[in-house]
Amino acid sequence: MNLGQISVPGRDDGLAGKVAVITGGASGIGRALALAYARAGVSTVLGYHPGDPHDPAAAVADVEALGGRTLAVEADVTDSNAVRVLVQNAVSEFGGLDIAVANAGILRRATLADMTDEHWNSMLDVDLTGVVRLLRAAAGAMHGSGALVAVSSIAGGVYGWGEHAHYAAAKAGVLGLIRSVAVELAPRGIRANAVIPGLIETPQSLDAENSLGPDGLEAAGHGIPAGRVGHADEVARAIRFLTSDDASYITGEHLVVDGGLTVRFPS
């Protein structure tokens, strides 16, 4: 090995000046990521669903308060054309696209006995096929290197979850998708990775009807080695790393962000 060819990483992670598209950008992990990117000098386009109760203008205001550049665009990830338009907004507004993060998702409780084809299909259409739509559109708009990240979950990505088989199946599928996309796009210099959040306090997990709710999250936190549930910005920082030059030789991988939950010895 020629030691003279080894570069020692400094403080610059290569993110400044780049452009990112984030689906599910109005709240939770998506909003936290937009703020993390603003601090790193990344311009963002935030995709949001028109039925989302969270105001995307609030996310835009928070990003701009940090001196960041951002644009919120209505984008239903079940509509391929809407996703293409979302990506095109990044190119037309900021001059290109370097990063795409598939974060949009839904969570619905349904037992196997009660799960209709509509329940199953609608879940996969958002949580798995919606990821495909963004990765496909983003890769097509990238000229040169780029980074793709998809958000999975410990439900499906690591564990099973009763009454959520459709959700877990979609999130497990994200991992196979990312591995294959990583192999296909590596010759173009485009990396693809996944994050697997554990129990993270977000609007989705705080939904007591379809998820754990506030009381369930608090109780679950006591069983996590870190002693608490995670915060959205902790997942956002992991995504920021995977899309930075610090992760330039990482592709086709998944990064678990769970405070040690999935490696804990059962007690």
Bridging pattern class, strands 146-151 and 254-257: unpaired
DSSP state of 6: P
Residue 6: its pLDDT value, please?
Answer: 43
What is the C-alpha to C-alpha distance for residues 225 and 244, in angstroms, rounded to an integer?
Answer: 28
What is the maximum alpha-carbon separation in the chain? 63
From the list 37, 48, 159, 167, the catalytic residue is 167
159 is catalytic: no
* Domain ranges within the chain, ordered by starting residue: 16-199+233-257
Above pLDDT 90, what percent of the chain?
Answer: 83
Q: What is the pTM of this model?
A: 0.93
Structure tokens at 53: 């109760």
- Return the half-sphere exposure (C-beta side, CA atoms, 13 A cut-off) of residue 258: 23
Confidence of residue 193 (pLDDT cuts 50, 70, 90): very high
Over range 179-206, report the average pLDDT. Answer: 92
Beta strands in 39-151 (DSSP E): 43-48, 70-74, 99-102, 146-151
CB atoms within 10 A of CB 22: 31
Give the tens place of pLDDT for each residue, 205-228.
Answer: 767 577 777 878 888 888 899 999
Query: Rounded distance, CA 116 to CA 184, Å?
Result: 34
Q: What is residue 54's predicted lDDT score, i.e. its pLDDT? A: 84
Distance in Å from the first CA to the final CA of the chain: 47
Identify residue 251 by its one-letter amino acid code.
T
CATH architecture of 16-199+233-257: 3-Layer(aba) Sandwich (3.40)
What pLDDT sits at residue 14?
A: 96
Question: For residues 82 and 2, which has the higher predicted lDDT (pLDDT)?
Answer: 82
Please check whether residue 34 is in contact with residue 58, taking contact to mean a CB–CB distance below 8 angstroms: no
